[in-house]
Amino acid sequence: MRFLIILLALLSCLASACSPQSDATDTQDKAGHPSESRIRIRIPDTRFTGILPMYIAEEKGILEENGLEAQWIDVRDPGQGTKLLIAGQADLIMTTFANILPVEARKPGSLRLLFPASETRSDPVSYILVRPDSTIKSLADLGGRTLGTYSGPSQKAYALIVLEKLGYREPEDVRLVQVATAAQVQGLFGGAYDALFTVEPYASIALEQGARSIATGVRTALISDPFWLGAAAVPSGVANAQPSLIPKLLRALDDAVRYIRAHDAESREVLARRTGTVDAVAKRSALYNWVAYPNTDQLDQIQDAVDLLHRENMIDAPVDVHTLFVGSDLE
């Protein structure tokens, strides 16, 4: 009799374990922790306009749909963001080539690049501005003046290239002055320099306050059109540890770009809120052209842009972008 009681108890336990109620409970437990199955990406939030697709992908659920989750790190300085990436404290950064490629030049094979961004002549992002009462009327009047720009290697590199293209030597003909990103517009109106070489959204901020443009689309006019300025970078170790990360990320960012193109006004509202830009500035600022799956011609153009940085000694060694970029083989 005792054996029969034990046998019945075992059969009852087995029946409970296999019941639909138990399955439902397991499913509920998994649904209650959906983030456990998503790949979390640590991203320096530099408030860079180029990050807009990632903001959109997060807010519209596109990251979640692709099994991803963003963890933002509040870092306003792009250089500091790159240091976090190198130190293993960030998984992805969206920044300029001048900022990130010195890392690859020093240690080849350390990065994977994706999702390049460009400025086009039809959507100018770069400007040289002066105060409304300035006697500077054109680029030809810059000789003997000071040119301000925001701090960091990227903008310094492009400012020096622009001055060289214009036939100016620095500091003999034009002296370059770098200031904190947030202080550049104030520096222009405060007389810290005679002209300001800047990009969106700071150009629109200054124009809204009465600044006058003496050159619009500076980088596309004097360097290249399109002007490929940067991309997203992921450490190779992170990409190797999570093989599905980059394909998922590219699908999400590609969908986000399509959303931006179809919902311009709403996307600009997101830009204003996430970057702290006033609505009027966000509405007038030109946006970058992002490409999730670059073709051969675009990679060749990017290579030309990177080679220029090397010739200008902004990158210590040549970098072959064709071996670094992922995306053209994943579409």
pLDDT tens figures, 189-246: 999 999 999 999 899 999 999 999 999 999 999 999 999 999 999 999 999 999 999 9
What whole-number distance in Å separates Cα of residue 20 and Cα of residue 52? 45
H or E element in which residue 99 lies:
helix 97-106
What is the DSSP annotation of 129-172? EE-TT-S--SGGG-TT-EEEEESSHHHHHHHHHHHHHTT--TTT
**Is residue 17 pLDDT above 90, yes or no?**
no
Work out the percent of the chain whose per-residue pLDDT is above 70: 88
CA dist 162 and 38 (Å) reads 44
* pLDDT at residue 329 greater than cutoff 90: no
Q: Read off the tokens for 245.
A: 């990360």
| Burial of 173 (C-beta count, 10 Å sphere; 0-12/13-18/19+) | middle
151: Cβ contacts below 8 Å, ≥ 6 apart: 77, 178, 179, 180, 181
Say how far apart CA 220 and CA 207 lie, in whole Å: 20
Contact 227, 305 (CB under 8 A): yes
Please, what is the average pLDDT of the chain?
Answer: 89
So what's the pLDDT on residue 330?
Answer: 52
150 or 131, which is more confident: 131
- The set of residues, in sequence order, having a beta carbon less than 8 Å from that of 221 and lying 6+ positions away, is 121, 215
Instruction: Say if residue 20's pLDDT is above 70.
Output: no
- Residues 254-304: tens digit of each pLDDT: 999 999 999 999 999 999 999 988 999 999 999 999 999 999 999 999 999
